[in-house]
Amino acid sequence: MPVRFASLARAKNRVRSNFVKLAILFFLSFSILGTLSAEPQEAISSLRKEARASAARGEAEQAEENYRLALAETPRDAGLNLEIARFFASQKKYPAAIEMYRRALLLSPGNQAASMGLSEAYRGVHNYDEARSILQAARRQHPKSVAVLSALGSLEIESESYDAAIEAMRAALALAPNDVKLRNLLGTAYMGKGDTAAALVEFEKVLARDPENQLAHYSRAQIFADTDQNEKALVDAEKVVAAKPEYLPGRVLLAKVLVRLKQCARAVEVLRPAVNPPVLETQALFLLGNAYECAGQPELAAGVREEFAAASQQDRRRAENETQSKHLVEQANALARRNKFAEALELLKQALEKNPKNAFAYSQQAKIYFSMRQVGQARDAIAQALAIQPFQPDFLYVAGVIAAQAGEQDEALAAFEKATQINPKEADAYFEIGRIWLQRKERAKALAAFRKASELDPGDADYKRAVAEISGQEEMKKQN
């Protein structure tokens, strides 16, 4: 079956706010999963205890094997399924975690911990739509759950859906008005939206309750600096750097304020201390050059500005190469659709010279080699793509098609199943799963997979035909 070029190009680019990511990832000293309520204590099997012990020692493979054996003993233990899901998530084996969280939910419908873990696993594979859907369902089941509302608000901030984040955080704060972590998130959402006045109100409330809260100090310093209230910004920025000297954005913010206040020698020391100076990004180098100039050290300023010019040129070249690489892949795709494979491969070679990390260029190579019946080269190319983006369902689908063509049914089935775990709406993958089960004469499994594909894409004639043929054959068997 030829690879469907159109069906393999559905990846979406998602823009993230640097401030939001830096602030939340660095300062919020809690994880969404860390807020889950503890599970009831149950009798623990020896295999389960051994699995926990192996995991604690960092012996992940042995832990996984012990969990597999424990699950074979008690497959319908919802707590065990949930524990295994969390283990897989801790190992960043998100597709396996998704599968186990779903099993836990089948055994324990409405389990809040499983729902939140499942959503977090979908975030791990960048399927934000599914993560949101899971949390919205959990909110309907647990409308008074602060943990669910907090997780939903955090997700909406990451997705830059600030109005939705504000609504979720306000609802959470109505239930837990003294929770400074929630209020920090609400302030962050307001900042993302551009409503700095509302954000400042929230950060003031945080600091009234927790005077040493560094996220609130950092955020308030940003607001003060952006509104030319530099003396106020200085107080907050000093606190941030004193508490977290390794946090480079805090140092840059402090140095910016110091330069504005003509305390330039201090700004130099903040950005480039004599002991263990941090590696500075491009804009920080620009600021350091200004600080040296302001401090009356023109020679040092000139040297740093040379560093800045070189870094800026490198940044521009990288951005231009990434853009050109993307356009070359698009042109190659258009050529491949017209069966101009040699010309397409040449453009993809150029794309990878521009950007060796362009996983879509490798994926496109794989599809072209597959169409040219060069299965070995296709396998190598898709392996390169998956090494860069291991959770891209389109790449997994291509890997499955290539493996199936090579006669590696187990490998193909694993790739297709992983694709459907990451993206439950991957109709093409369900169809291919059905084809494999049919070849293995597992007709019930094949029919279930074909039905799933047809449910997801009711207009596809191939899916309808597959369901009708097997259903008809099964009906004839019953009559006979």
Tens of pLDDT, residues 70-91: 999 999 999 999 999 999 999 9
Reply yes or no on whether the pLDDT at 284 is more than 50.
yes
pLDDT at residue 38 in the model: 40
Tens of pLDDT, residues 268-279: 999 999 999 999
Tens of pLDDT, residues 252-264: 999 999 999 999 9
Parts of the chain belonging to CATH 1.25.40.10: 16-42+77-193, 211-296
Identify the residue whose tokens are 């959770």: 391
Q: What separation in angstroms does the CA of 449 have from each of 107, 174, 456, 467, 470?
A: 21, 44, 11, 9, 11
Tens of pLDDT, residues 371-418: 999 999 999 999 999 999 999 999 999 999 999 999 999 999 999 999
Reply yes or no on whether the pLDDT at 282 is more than 90.
yes
Identify the residue whose tokens are 């940003």: 222
| Average pLDDT in the chain | 91
pLDDT at residue 480 in the model: 62
pLDDT at residue 8 in the model: 40
For domain 16-42+77-193, give the CATH number.
1.25.40.10
Q: What is the mean pLDDT of residues 443-448?
A: 95
Reply yes or no on whether the pLDDT at 426 is more than 80.
yes
Q: Which fold has domain 211-296?
A: 1.25.40
Tens of pLDDT, residues 7-55: 443 333 333 344 444 454 445 433 444 443 344 445 578 999 999 999 9
